Structure 1
Amino acid sequence: MTPQARSEGDLPQGDPVQGAWLDALPQAVLLIESGSVTRVNAAAARLWGVPQDRAAGRPVLEIVRRHTLEALAERGGEMELEVSGRTLRCTATRDGVHSALIVEDVTDHRRREAELREATAVLSHEFRTPVAALRGVLEALEYDMPTDLAQNFVRQGLQETERLARLVEDLAVGFRPTRARTLPLAEAFARAERLLGTDLSARQATLTFGQDHLVRADPDKLLQVLLNLIENALKYGPNGQPIHVRTAERGTWVEVAVLDHGPAISDSENLFRAHTRGQGATGQGSGMGLYIVRSIVHGWGGQAWAEREGQQNAFCFTLPGVAGIG
């Protein structure tokens, strides 16, 4: 038999070629013969804290210290284990009396998968508002109306189409730095009030805004924050009750608070976690709204929180202010 034809199990324990390529692997590898370890590579020695020169000849269980891994090495197959906060993907192959156990740390890979799922949930939530606005515009344009009114609907539709285009860019290339500019809060307030007009009428609610301030923010992200908070106030507050958006200077920051007359919130901090909904939540919902709010606000360096003020709930956030409006 030529050296090239020898199987992995036929290689002598001290073969330098075998040792070099095994030690170069990032995965932990145990070579096993008849239930005893014949070699561990450098990654396996680090993972299980066993020097390579002391591993040979020892039972598999003495090295891996887990019956699940010992059984996997005996039967072959794949499994994942959670060990000390790490996710390990374990694969065992078997050929007669020879077997190999390969363990790979996939913690970062699983974290990236979770981040991707979370990013997808965030984007799907953000798509909801412009899609709903476009549907309303198209439904309105089905009817005959004065030319100036129709043009107003067309402008609104184009504005929301541009917003959708930006979201598509985010989906394609990841979350890039926001497109911040200086703008008066009144601009964002007017846009939010226009988009929520139908909902306000349906709930017989009034919406008022506090003093205007000049701020530095991405207009679309700021609108998303306002829409989420005002929609929550409409959803969880009683019909016919006013909603007020209060503003105030806080040093170099501007604080915005959406006040509603809904029931007292019992655990305001948990409401800002992903996939969490309030106790009184009804209907379908992703539980991502307040998580999105906090993520956006943290992105420009601000803070987002909720508190009870007398008989009202206050959902607050801060954003960079620009002094000297007007």
Structure 2
Amino acid sequence: MNSTGGTADFWIDALPQAVLLCEGGTVVRLNAAASRLWGVSQARAAGRPVLEVVRRHTLEALIERGGELELEVSGRTLRCAATRDGDACALIVEDLTAHRRREAELREATAVLSHEFRTPVTALRGVLEALEYDMPRELSQNFVRQGLQETGRLARLVEDLAVGFRPTRARTLPLAEAFARAERLLEGELTARGSRLSFGPDHLVRADPDKLLQVLLNLIENALKYGPPDQDIEVQTAARGSWAEVCVLDHGLPIPDSDSLFQAHTRGAGATGQGSGMGLYIVRSVVQGWGGQAWAARLGGRNAFCFTLPGVGSMG
């Protein structure tokens, strides 16, 4: 740059914020970001009334009085600040859309993690309560193993809080392994409700074992919560090409709008007690994370909550 003006132009164009300079209600200068925001070049904007460039009376008024405000424009959140010095004025506009999106994602992630923490914490409490009583050594060791397993899950959730959601820890495993783990954790609830749980044929799948368990627990717990007591909950399995399909069937009342239940913070019409409305949202998020689908349907007079996951092969 060979002049002071040229250097100033370089720096103002390098700013990520949109900058508009005006005097007496007429545009003097736009930087590159402002040209992109309002779709007008510096050459066309110079000398025009401010309103012709910004095309919003709200911004024109802000420039006249000075101050700050936030605007929602075409799905974007803009922070606008105007300063005046006599007839001269500067309008600076910062696009906060990505920042607001990250804030929303952080709130959603916190809600999801809070929901996921409940299951291992509940399981650990049950283990510790059981260990208060005298029991055969083999049985107590089994409870200790369960406690260590759930402690491992908690440790991984703490890591998620610290560094965000990491890539999936997928491995090949039989569905029966996840089924047995879920049945063991839900044994108390099944007994209390007088309900029975059955599983379809085994299949080899490729998934993160903890995430698969979380999906199963959410679906079976929903079946227990919204279905009648003393019911048979069936977990059906089937091969669908290169995918395995799992469906949890209960005898609850028909669901009028099943797809809306997979939205965040949504609970069924018959929901009672406390709940975050995040269970099915987590199910769909996890399943979509490994490329599968999650849905609900009415099959043979029963509610079916289904999902797919990458299959490796049948085990007979």
TM-score of the superposition, structure 2-length normalised?
0.93
Task: State the partner residue of 1:278.
Answer: 268
- 2:38 paired with 1:48: yes
Provide the C-alpha distance between the structure 2 equivalents of 1:212 and 1:205, rounded to a whole number of angstroms: 22
Q: 1:165 aligns with which of 155, 167, 172?
A: 155
Counterpart of 2:174 (choices 184, 195, 201) is 184
Equivalent position amino acid for 2:90 in 1? A
What SS is found at the alignment partner of 2:169?
coil
Aligned residue for 1:156? 146
Counting matched residue pairs gives 313
1:1-326 superposed matches below 5 A: 15-323=5-313, 325=315
What is the CA-CA distance between 1:59 and the residue it aligns to? 2.7
Tell me the distance in 2 between the aligned counterparts of 1:50 and 1:144: 80
Q: For 2:5 and 2:203, how far apart are their aligned partners in 1?
A: 74
Deviates more, 1:31-40 or 1:258-267: 31-40
**Cα offsets for 1:252-280 (capped at 9, x unmatched):** 22211100000111111111122222222
Q: Which amino acid in structure 2 is aligned with residue 161 of structure 1?
A: T
Q: Which moved more, 1:78-87 or 1:221-230?
A: 78-87
1: CA distance, partners of 2:302 / 2:115: 26
Using the size of structure 1 for normalisation, the TM-score is: 0.90
Match of 2:70, SS state, is: strand
Which amino acid letter does the alignment assign opposite residue 211 of structure 1? Answer: P
Percent of aligned positions that are identical: 80
Structure 1 stretches lacking a partner, 5+ long: 1-13
Q: 1:44 deviation in Å? A: 1.5
Runs of 4+ more than 4 Å apart: none
> How big is the shift at 1:60?
2.1
| Post-superposition CA distance 1:189-234 (Å, at most 9, x none) | 1111111111112211111111222222111111101000000001
Secondary structure, counterpart of 2:13 in structure 1? helix
Residue 244 of structure 1: SS of its match in structure 2?
Answer: strand
Q: Does structure 1 conserve the Cα–Cα contact (< 8 Å) formed by 2:239 and 2:314?
A: no
1:10-54, Cα deviation, whole Å (9 max, x unpaired): xxxx93232222122121111122333222222212222333133
Tell me the CA shift for residue 125 of structure 1: 1.2
RMSD, aligned α-carbons: 1.8
